[in-house]
Amino acid sequence: MTNIISKSLFIRGCQCHKSLYLHKFHDELRDTLSEAQEAIFSTGTSVGEVARDLYPGGTNIRELTAGDTAKALTETANHMASGARVIYEAAFSCDNLLAYVDILVRDGESWKIFEVKASTSVSDTYLLDCAFQYHLLTLCGIQVSDVSVVHLNNKYIRQGALELKELFKTVSVLEEVKTLRSVVIENLEQQFAILNADSIPAIDIGLQCHSPYPCDFMGHCWKHVPEYSVFEVAGLSANKKMALYSSGILEIKDIPEGYKLNKNQKIQVDGVKHNRSHFDKAMVKEFLNTLKYPIYFMDFETMMPAIPLFDKSTPYQQIPFQYSLHYLPHRGAELQHMEFLAEAIEGKDPREAFIKVAGGYPKTRNGARL
Ligand code: SF4
């Protein structure tokens, strides 16, 4: 069977060869996608859709061909040959490589590649991603005059309709991807060799499991890691945790006496070693003594839309939309409760209603409405 390496598979392979192999041949070992991960993917998709309007009027090849790769390749070639100026999700394949280019824009006899990212900066992984596309299009005989990463501008403050040229930053990375082309070629050689092997690469867990993306095979690879492992020591750096693991120390109880820990880590490690809980009565008392009635207990929820939905908000700004407030007017009083949930009305900013003074809400110590 011929193995095809797509852009996303290439990036996976750069993170970990074992992940590359498992993704291709052992889907049954993959973790179930969490809701949070699904939300990240859908954020990327919606940002990509909005960014297309920076270069309007193109045809979306992926949509047009409904996931049929052969058709997508033919349609891309047809659109390029028939004078299209802008193409979204343009498909290219050569030498068993495959990529869809987010936005492809004609530049005379050449073409410009725009890779859209839902982040607020350019990372090394994005450079590799762009370098893969540059390498593939060059193999296909396409002249590429520029390659850019289009990412969100976290300084943009929405006021009225979205201003796409302000919302997005376009950063040319042509020189970087030209330099990285040799790295891509070298990585591809290794990745094809991995895919042609007949066994899972013997790679132990490591820092690569979390970076640049959380791996979706951790349930499989990390199953030997016990509940109270060194990876659970709060605030210990990832490098130190991995160094302990690599030296054969897997469980908290085996961390040697004298290992450098801060005060809280020492409490945690000693607690596990001696099977005892820690309760600092004096500190709790000291804290409770600082509280004065009336006392409010507030829990709230926020959302962080990548594309700002409301005026005076920026990409990924936290927008509160719900709270639950318990209120104790004086010692011994009955606990009261009030709550707020914003109306889900498109374009309606929930922040004002969230903080608005309303009749019936409890007063603060100074007598002002909450
Ligand atoms: S969990 Fe870690 S070791 Fe296993 S495949 Fe993923 S990155 Fe590789």
Cβ proximity of 100 and 72 under 8 Å: yes
Note the pLDDT tens digit of each residue in 214-257.
999 999 999 999 999 999 999 999 999 999 999 999 999 999 99
Instruction: Write down the residue that tokens 């498909």 correspond to.
Output: 91
Residue range 320-343, pLDDT digits in tens:
999 999 989 999 999 999 888 988
184 CA to middle of ligand 1, Å?
A: 21
Distance CA 140, CA 134 (A): 10
Residue 203 alpha carbon to ligand 1 centre in Å = 8
- Which band of pLDDT confidence, cut at 50, 70 and 90, is reported for residue 356? confident
Question: Which atom of ligand 1 is nearest the CA belonging to 204?
Answer: 3
Q: What is the pLDDT of residue 334?
A: 94
Instruction: Report which residue type is found at 158.
Output: R
* DSSP H helical ranges for the chain: 7-15, 17-25, 35-51, 61-65, 69-81, 124-139, 164-167, 174-196, 218-221, 238-246, 263-273, 281-290, 350-355
What local confidence, expressed as pLDDT, does residue 35 receive? 76
Both tokens of 198, joined, read 């007949």
> Given ligand 1 and candidates 11, 12, 18, 204, which is best to mutate, with the most ligand atoms within 8 Å of its CB?
18
Q: Whose CA is nearest to atom 7 of ligand 1?
A: 209
Residue nearest to atom 4 of ligand 1 (CA): 221
How do residues 170-202 score in pLDDT, each as one tens digit?
A: 999 999 999 999 999 999 999 999 999 999 999
Q: What is the pLDDT of residue 359?
A: 41
> Atom 2 of ligand 1 has which residue's CA nearest to it?
209
48 C-alpha to ligand 1 centroid (Å): 28
- Cα-only R_g, the chain: 27
Residue of 24, 218, 220, 246 to test ligand 1 pocket, by largest number of atoms within 8 Å of CB: 218
Protein residues with CB under 6 Å of any ligand 1 atom: 16, 18-19, 22, 203, 205, 208-209, 215, 217-218, 221
Both tokens of 357, joined, read 């003074």
> What is the number of the ligand 1 atom nearest to the C-alpha of 216?
6
Q: Atom of ligand 1 at shortest distance to CA of 208?
A: 7
Q: Which CATH class is domain 5-196?
A: alpha beta
Model confidence at 304, pLDDT cuts 50, 70, 90, reads very high
Q: Sorting pLDDT into bands at 50, 70 and 90, what band is 370?
A: very low
Q: What is the pLDDT of residues 245-295, one digit of tens each?
A: 999 999 999 999 999 999 999 999 999 999 999 999 999 999 999 999 999
Please give the distance, rounded to the nearest whole angstrom, from the Cα atom of residue 343 to the centre of ligand 1: 42
Is 14's pLDDT higher than 60?
Answer: yes
Q: What is the pLDDT of residues 112-155, one digit of tens each?
A: 999 999 999 999 999 999 999 999 999 999 999 999 999 999 99
Band the pLDDT of 360: cuts 50, 70, 90: very low
| Ligand 1 mutation pick, 25, 217, 231, max ligand atoms within 8 A of CB | 217
Shortest-distance Cα residue to atom 1 of ligand 1 = 218
Cα of 221 vs centre of ligand 1, distance in Å, is 6
Q: Decide if pLDDT at 367 tops 80.
A: no
Ligand 1 atom with the smallest distance to the CA of 222 is 1
Residues of the chain with CATH 3.90.320: 5-196
Kindly report, residue by residue over 64-113, the tens digit of the pLDDT.
999 899 999 999 999 999 999 999 999 999 999 999 999 999 999 999 99
Q: How far is the CA of 14 from the centre of ligand 1 (A)?
A: 12
